[in-house]
Structure 1
Amino acid sequence: MRPALAALAACCVVARAELPSARLASRNTTTQHVLQCSEGLVLPLWLPLEDVPTLQIALRGFVYFFTLMYLFIGVSIVSDRFMAAIEVITSREKEVRVRRNGSEQIIVVRVWNETVANLTLMALGSSAPEILLSVIEIAGKNFEAGDLGPGTIVGSAAYNLFVIIAICVMVIPDGEVRKIKHLRVFLVTATWSIFAYVWLYLILAVISPSEVEVWEGAVTFLFFPATVMTAYIADRRLLVYKYLKKGYRVNERGVIVEGEGDGSVEMALKPNSDEFASDDEEGRELDKSRKEYISVLRELRRQHPEEDLETVERMALETLMARGPKSRAFYRVAATRKMTGGGDFSRKISERAQSDLSEVKAELQRRESTSVAVEPKGPNLRFDPDHYTVMENCGSFEVRVVRRGDLSGEVTVQYNTEDGTAEAGSDYVAAQGSLVFGHGETEKKFTVQVIDDDVFEEDEHFYVRLTAPKGACLASPSTATVVILDDDHSGVFSFPQRDFELTESVGTYELRVVRTAGARGKVRIPYWTEDGTAKSGAQFEAVQDSIVFEDNETEKFISLHIIEEDSYEKDVLFYVNLGNPVLLGDDNRPVLTDNEVEHLTTLPEEEAVVALMGYPRAGEITRAQLRVKESKEFKNTVDKLVQRANASIIIGTSSWKEQFSEALTASSDNPDEQPSCGDYVLHIFTLFWKIIFAFVPPTDIGGGYVCFVVSIICIGLVTAVIGDVASHFGCTLGIKDSVTAIIFVALGTSIPDTFASKVAAIQDKHADASVGNVTGSNAVNVFLGIGVAWTVAAVVHWSKNEKFVVDPGNLAFSVTMFCSEAALAVLVLVLRRRKSIGGELGGPRGIKIVTSMFFFSLWLIYLTMSTLEAYGYIAGF
């Protein structure tokens, strides 16, 4: 506001010095003046226009000025509804298949390319007032050229490039820098932005002086898609752009060579050999987001050990959303909310994070529930359990058959035993028979006998099968396995398998040790862990101890504690070893002393085997390899959350109730604090606009397109009033439209972008959102704002066999001034990328101050020279 007031005071001085002027009656030399104002498009004149006292002129000037400022606030608020609709439209996503690390993955990417979105809808959203002002002015003046629209576009471009960048350079903390990530895109859009104004000068003063032909207006507009296309090519680093067809392929170095291609993937060559212009780039960005999320999650778990995992995951998602890159729309809407007492988005980010987390957890639970085996319909029979391990001396044991489903009626089933390694008659007694389930009965049992002998045998097994059901069907398992353990020897001890795979989220893993070929006596087995690629203390806790098998006990478990790191892609190994088993006596002392064991080792092999017959011994597998991998649930959760971690989409609304609630509520930047007096003052001051534009349809209706259309209509209506007020303000104070445009209107329409760029410069890791978008927006302003307006006007005049006359006047001079200074500004930004500074924004304090002062002085020089030329103090073109 202060720059605007200062400029107003300056213009008042100019107006006073110029009285009588072109806009005041030259014959009036008293304090009574005649105002040379014309009717506005929608706003009537403030009468009377003759014999107006000087004091009343000053009063009218202040009324128009503050009305203009209030209208700027209104157009900013409705522009944010427009930006919210654009964010919803451009945030549409699709699933793509990419090949990474030799495997195919499905990732979710946005349908809209970021560069294309920024140069089309985003640029239209932030520059809609300037563009529509130019179009509306042409229509309001019966398709004759005016000074307000083009002047606003050129003045806004100067303010954006010089003042906004000066502020962004200065607000970066000392010693920090922000560098443009997509430098090629910046250089392309910077070139187009300068060329746009060079082109204006060419068509006004060189090609067809003082006339705009139809083809010139059309070409001006067509430069807009050309800007978007070249920026997209620069973004994707395309040197060769083609579809892969049969006969071509892209090799591992990124070179298109002859070979087999399936034509299903659009691929383009990049200068860097290790990168391709495919959707795999989105995959790499997703990987970076995963790593950041996991890093934040670990840090929060260290800081909040008392919180449960779900709470920490929500906190990490909030942090990721707050830190992550945001769209131009987000920063624009956030800036306007702060300016109008609406607070920031921290509360909505928290609510969104909780909602996303709950939705992802519920989705994973649904997937798990659908993967569970479906229970057969109708009555069915099965073994429960289907595996029995019995000692040789047990005599007999019971086998259980259960009935599920419909319990009405009578059901019968046959059972019979079948040999495996165990043989009927020598190891067990063959059994067969029939089971009858009465009405409502759910289980039946039958007995199987085991034969005991004194012969040493390996463990043996046989089967029991269900057959010939009547009144029901067989369900799995319909076969039970019975393992007979020999009880005549102490047994063989080993792991059941060599390799085990477990997830890091398992916590404590119970590693099974089995006893086979005997179960007599009490035996102790030492064990210890051994590092592999997994390191003790980092991925697992080292342990060295022993387990004891009691008499007739056939299995024990070793407890291993796995340290959860919340790693997205973990694949590490460690080992567990078993030592030699030791037979213990009743006093828990070894039956064989160390001297006796040493003596046995000196005997011939055959004698040693006979001597050790019946004693426990180690089996074949005494070294287990444990592979620790990431938790699939955790991995799936990370994938889903990271794909959703886009804070920009929270600027949308789902209902009119939500919009009116936000419009009627004042908020502070800190959701835990009450709004301050300043927040309430801003809220009350802007309440009218908030309520009016709360009637705009929510963004959730029609995918944002309904809100898009209604918002741009509202912007057009408010902009039409702004054009009339600005014109009346200028003619009242004797300020030319060209000066009013470059000082007041350009400043008023750019204030929200100033705050948005400032916040983006501080919060973003790169300078693209704060600086890189400025040049693209400036080019789009000319190609759309002037291109559309002048094309329509030229066509209308051509249809009447007339010429569309545009006096170069002040516009040509302003364009020349801007182009010269803009080229110098871009050069300075490029030079700041040297190692001594490191980026376009920030840097050492002294360099920051010098750079900011230089950019700000460029703007002051531009305003001063353009104003002096407009009033004839210096010669123009």
Structure 2
Amino acid sequence: MSQSGYSNLLRLLILSCGVHIISAADGFCQGTKAKMSCCLGGEGTHLLPFIPYEYTWSRGFRAFVYLLGLLWCFAGVSILSDAFMAGIERITNSTYKKKVVRKEENGDAVRGQDGNFVYDEEEALVWNPAVANLTLMALGSSTPEILLAVIEICFSGFFSGDLGPGTVVGSASYNLNIITAVCMLALPAGVGRKVDNMTVFLLTSTSSVLAYLWMYISVSVWTPNVVTVVEAAVTFGMFPVLTILVYLADRGYFSFGVKVAPSDGTKDAVAADANLEQINARAKYRHQALGALSAAKPKQVENEFLRRRSSMISQDLSYFQFPAEEYSFLETAGEVYVPIVRYGNIDIVANVNYETVDGTAREGKSYESSKGTLTFAEGEVEKKIPLTIIHDDVWNEDLNFLVSLTVEDQQSRLGLRESTRITIIDMDGPGIFEWSDEDPKTCTTEDEEVQLFVQRLKGSRGDARLRVRTVDDTAKAGYHYDAVDFVLDWSDSEIVKQVQIRINRHNFDNFMEDGDIRFYAEMKLEDKGEGGAAVGERSRIGICISPADLAVEELTWSMQFRQALTVNGGENLEDTTNIELAVHYITFIWKFFAAFIPPPKYWNGWATFCVALVMIGLTTTLISDLASLFGCTVGLEDAVTAITIVALGTSLPDTFASMLAISSDSNADNAIGNITGSNSVNVYLGLGLPWLIAAIYWSSVGPTDKWLEKYQGTDLNRPPAYYMLTEKHAAPFLPENQGTGGFVVIGGSLGFNTILFVGLTVVSFAILFFRRAYFGFELGGPRWASLLSAVLFVIIWIVYLVVNSLQVYHPESFPLL
């Protein structure tokens, strides 16, 4: 039987199964639609379809399959991006040894007996943290959007498309508006977060607006509908320009009125540590978000900056910080004191300012406002801030406020803890007993004991008796640890007690074969007392004992595969939910593929970077094909698919990461401060690079037969693109107009999309800057203000989607910009 005979037989079998055939006969794939990606012989895909005669399936069924495939690939690219971020994190933590001249206490250089300078070796960062945060970390969080734009152009014969640019702009709108709205609502009422590194935020904010404004000028104003080599070079060249500006701002060369400390690891290493901590925190939040989304154990985050911190402090400067992140006081405490410590150069007189800031506690009602300056004399390393707590007789939840530090003189800097949270514990209820430690409490085989804390929340009136005992699991009492079973007696006003459990550190000979083991500590009320105290939800806590060497062991191939093949990385299996099981099996293939990516320890993270980038590229190609096929089958234009489904899918991990960041950090830098940098990088790198390649290609080869067929045609057979190119402009680049061709980027819908985004972005930034001027921070604050701001940001995003979609389907009602 001939090949055509087999084809007809297969079509007959498909028809007998009741499957609808998409062909010219049903009127869908005719005329201008004949070359759509979902039609036989269509264009616009690179890897799909995999299945022969897929075009013969019912359009409804195909749309359903393509949508499921898109969602599955979104999960896959997120998992692969997580591994990619681990490699970037390792790269940004790289250090090298540098020689510095040894200094006397008076600052004079030390010379040896031969008269030459004496040098010491210091450890310094290879990457400037601010630059790494803008470049590598922004690349890590925006890899899918950037690669989608690159692949669409480079794999389609260097012709432009709608998915790549649309996803870049749509993702930018989602990031700025929806992620900001989510962060607004994630904060408790009365709690605010502000961007600390305001100089870099102002730079990247301005750059993000100018980037998309330049994008509009390139495709709609300067040389309409064609991107020249010069325009593409300028677009791509803005990336290193922005990088240099951020570096200069980080070095303190300009600050827009905001004091900025340089972060080169020598002149002011604590600032470098703060920037590096931000990078590591950003990676950590993505790990946690991906772990929640894929039921995977988050990868280890190596905070190497803590190890280097002592060797990178400048001895010429005084550093001020709080010793702890939080202090708790009873509401009956009255006057209390919070310490401030100084380190670095303590042989000078230096000043530090402090000020209280409302949280859930309000000044004048729960505490007295305090603001002042402390002067540290020569040799003085600690002073205390006096605060006054106000007591009331009405029970309420525990409240908190912040105390923040600032410095003004050039010889002073702030350490890592420039603010601390003060918690006011209410005393007017009987109280609820809970474990205060994170569950599970972790320790290693080298620890002699585990210390747990029982806290009394929501009041501490009256006496109570609480029994605490341990319960075996994989760790056995008498062998791995010493069992406890005793009663804690609580008197009136007592709010915390300590429980110590001894670990038998010498009984772990074959421990490595079994992995982590655990046991539990639980509490039960023996006597509620007169007040009626109760035990809260956290009445049971797990104690997890890990091998000491595994606690510091780097990620290995075997660990990656073990984490990929098991739910939650093989941990807490008894607590696994059905949803976690389902998510694990759905994403299992992606986690298995990701396990083949080299661990970050190889080539200092560069092996991870390169392999993960290739795998993300292949997955992004699938996303591009699936998005095109889905839009084709449901009649959705690529420009609309890009700003909705694709932009949403590629931005979900950053949404959850920002939620975690705003809940955990004391500032808004990790939550929204990096959005502007990523949005700029998307244009400069995601569009600038492929535009430059395509512009150089078409300026070299000139109009090909396919180029002429796509954009010019003949007098009797004009392609649709011809009318778009000539409707508003003369199109001098067309050969019929004595032009030499070029890289065509039709500015109609893309230009409208971009200028609409720029206008709405200015409104979004105006809201953020107004909030900072009025409330003192960009995110949070009073509940009404957070709700109103979140609603405004969501409305801005909806307006962007609706107006953009209307312009795509009804261009006659909108100006073709």
How would you bin the TM-score normalised by the shorter chain? 0.5 to 0.7
SS in 2 for 1:839: coil
2:43 match: 38
Instruction: Give the letter for the 1:60 counterpart.
Output: R
Deviation, 1:876, is 3.5
1:92 match: 94
SS in 1 for 2:798: helix
2:215 match: 200
Could you say if the C-alpha distance between residues 568 and 21 of structure 1 is closer, same or farther in structure 2, counting changes exceeding 3 Å? farther
Q: 2:81 aligns with which of 79, 82, 107?
A: 79
Aligned counterparts, 1:147-546, within 5 A: 147-239=162-254, 279=265, 282-285=268-271, 326-344=280-298
Deviation, 1:183, is 0.7
2:787 match: 849
For the residues of structure 2 that align with 1:570 and 1:24, how far apart are their CA atoms? Answer: 76
Instruction: Give the letter for the 1:337 counterpart.
Output: G
CA contact (8 A) 1:37 1:732 kept: no
2:602 aligned with 1:664: no
1:474 match: none
Could you say if the C-alpha distance between residues 287 and 215 of structure 1 is closer, same or farther in structure 2, counting changes exceeding 3 Å? closer
Worse-matched range after superposition: 675-684 or 211-220: 675-684
Deviation, 1:222, is 0.3
CA contact (8 A) 2:297 2:563 kept: no
Deviation, 1:20, is 13
SS in 1 for 2:568: coil
What TM-score, normalized to structure 1? Answer: 0.53
1:812 match: 751
Deviation, 1:229, is 1.2
CA contact (8 A) 1:652 1:700 kept: no
Deviation, 1:805, is 1.4
CA contact (8 A) 1:23 1:731 kept: no
2:156 aligned with 1:117: no
Could you say if the C-alpha distance between residues 844 and 107 of structure 1 is closer, same or farther in structure 2, counting changes exceeding 3 Å? farther
Could you say if the C-alpha distance between residues 326 and 332 of structure 1 is closer, same or farther in structure 2, counting changes exceeding 3 Å? same
For the residues of structure 1 that align with 2:274 and 2:693, how far apart are their CA atoms? Answer: 47
Deviation, 1:569, is 8.9
2:650 match: 749
Instruction: Give the letter for the 2:782 counterpart.
Output: P
For the residues of structure 1 that align with 2:83 and 2:93, how far apart are their CA atoms? Answer: 15
What does the per-residue CA deviation read over 1:256-287, in whole Å, with 9 as the maximum and x for residues that have no partner?
Answer: xxxxxxxxxxxxx9978996776466444599
What TM-score, normalized to structure 2? Answer: 0.57
CA contact (8 A) 2:208 2:679 kept: yes
What does the per-residue CA deviation read over 1:157-202, in whole Å, with 9 as the maximum and x for residues that have no partner?
Answer: 1111111111111111211111101111111101111111111111
CA contact (8 A) 1:25 1:35 kept: no
1:791 match: 692
1:446 match: none
CA contact (8 A) 1:664 1:691 kept: yes
Instruction: Give the letter for the 2:674 counterpart.
Output: N
CA contact (8 A) 1:85 1:652 kept: no
CA contact (8 A) 1:761 1:767 kept: yes
Q: 1:723 aligns with which of 617, 624, 629?
A: 624
For the residues of structure 1 that align with 2:781 and 2:592, how far apart are their CA atoms? Answer: 43
Q: 1:826 aligns with which of 761, 765, 774?
A: 765
Deviation, 1:111, is 2.8
1:769 match: 670
What does the per-residue CA deviation read over 1:681-701, in whole Å, with 9 as the maximum and x for residues that have no partner?
Answer: 222221111111101111101
CA contact (8 A) 1:134 1:789 kept: yes
Could you say if the C-alpha distance between residues 743 and 567 of structure 1 is closer, same or farther in structure 2, counting changes exceeding 3 Å? closer
Could you say if the C-alpha distance between residues 163 and 176 of structure 1 is closer, same or farther in structure 2, counting changes exceeding 3 Å? same
2:634 match: 733
CA contact (8 A) 2:125 2:265 kept: no
What does the per-residue CA deviation read over 1:220-277, in whole Å, with 9 as the maximum and x for residues that have no partner?
Answer: 10011111111222222204xxxxxxxxxxxxxxxxxxxxxxxxxxxxx997899677
Equivalent pairs: percent with the same residue?
Answer: 38
RMSD: 4.3
What does the per-residue CA deviation read over 1:7-52, in whole Å, with 9 as the maximum and x for residues that have no partner?
Answer: xxxxxxxxxxxx9999754799xxxx978943621112766587x6
Could you say if the C-alpha distance between residues 817 and 275 of structure 1 is closer, same or farther in structure 2, counting changes exceeding 3 Å? closer
For the residues of structure 1 that align with 2:758 and 2:259, how far apart are their CA atoms? Answer: 37
CA contact (8 A) 1:333 1:651 kept: no
Deviation, 1:344, is 4.9
Could you say if the C-alpha distance between residues 174 and 144 of structure 1 is closer, same or farther in structure 2, counting changes exceeding 3 Å? same
For the residues of structure 2 that align with 1:775 and 1:791, how far apart are their CA atoms? Answer: 23
Q: Which runs of 5+ in 2 are unaligned?
A: 1-23, 109-119, 312-339, 348-378, 383-415, 418-550, 703-740
CA contact (8 A) 2:138 2:677 kept: yes
SS in 2 for 1:680: helix
SS in 1 for 2:227: coil
Could you say if the C-alpha distance between residues 684 and 875 of structure 1 is closer, same or farther in structure 2, counting changes exceeding 3 Å? same
Q: Highest relative contact order (Cα 8 Å, sep 6+), 1 or 2?
A: 1
CA contact (8 A) 1:179 1:766 kept: yes
CA contact (8 A) 1:730 1:736 kept: yes
Could you say if the C-alpha distance between residues 205 and 651 of structure 1 is closer, same or farther in structure 2, counting changes exceeding 3 Å? farther
SS in 2 for 1:342: coil
Deviation, 1:332, is 1.6
Deviation, 1:761, is 1.1
CA contact (8 A) 1:212 1:806 kept: yes
Deviation, 1:110, is 3.0
CA contact (8 A) 2:129 2:279 kept: no
CA contact (8 A) 2:262 2:271 kept: no
> Greater CA radius of gyration, 1 or 2?
1
Deviation, 1:830, is 1.1
Q: 2:148 aligns with which of 113, 133, 146?
A: 133
Could you say if the C-alpha distance between residues 42 and 226 of structure 1 is closer, same or farther in structure 2, counting changes exceeding 3 Å? same
Could you say if the C-alpha distance between residues 778 and 272 of structure 1 is closer, same or farther in structure 2, counting changes exceeding 3 Å? closer
2:609 aligned with 1:708: yes
Could you say if the C-alpha distance between residues 99 and 679 of structure 1 is closer, same or farther in structure 2, counting changes exceeding 3 Å? farther
What does the per-residue CA deviation read over 1:383-428, in whole Å, with 9 as the maximum and x for residues that have no partner?
Answer: xxxxxxxxxxxxxxxxxxxxxxxxxxxxxxxxxxxxxxxxxxxxxx
Q: 1:61 aligns with which of 54, 60, 63?
A: 63
2:386 match: none
Q: 1:692 aligns with which of 582, 593, 596?
A: 593
For the residues of structure 1 that align with 2:578 and 2:760, how far apart are their CA atoms? Answer: 42
Deviation, 1:103, is 6.4
What does the per-residue CA deviation read over 1:572-615, in whole Å, with 9 as the maximum and x for residues that have no partner?
Answer: 9xxxxxxxxxxxxxxxxxxxxxxxxxxxxxxxxxxxxxxxxxxx
Could you say if the C-alpha distance between residues 653 and 77 of structure 1 is closer, same or farther in structure 2, counting changes exceeding 3 Å? farther
2:814 match: 875
CA contact (8 A) 2:183 2:779 kept: yes
Could you say if the C-alpha distance between residues 132 and 272 of structure 1 is closer, same or farther in structure 2, counting changes exceeding 3 Å? closer
For the residues of structure 1 that align with 2:279 and 2:562, how far apart are their CA atoms? Answer: 28
2:621 aligned with 1:683: no
SS in 1 for 2:646: helix
1:418 match: none
Could you say if the C-alpha distance between residues 569 and 215 of structure 1 is closer, same or farther in structure 2, counting changes exceeding 3 Å? closer
Could you say if the C-alpha distance between residues 159 and 281 of structure 1 is closer, same or farther in structure 2, counting changes exceeding 3 Å? farther
Could you say if the C-alpha distance between residues 702 and 326 of structure 1 is closer, same or farther in structure 2, counting changes exceeding 3 Å? closer
Instruction: Give the letter for the 1:795 counterpart.
Output: I
CA contact (8 A) 1:107 1:283 kept: no
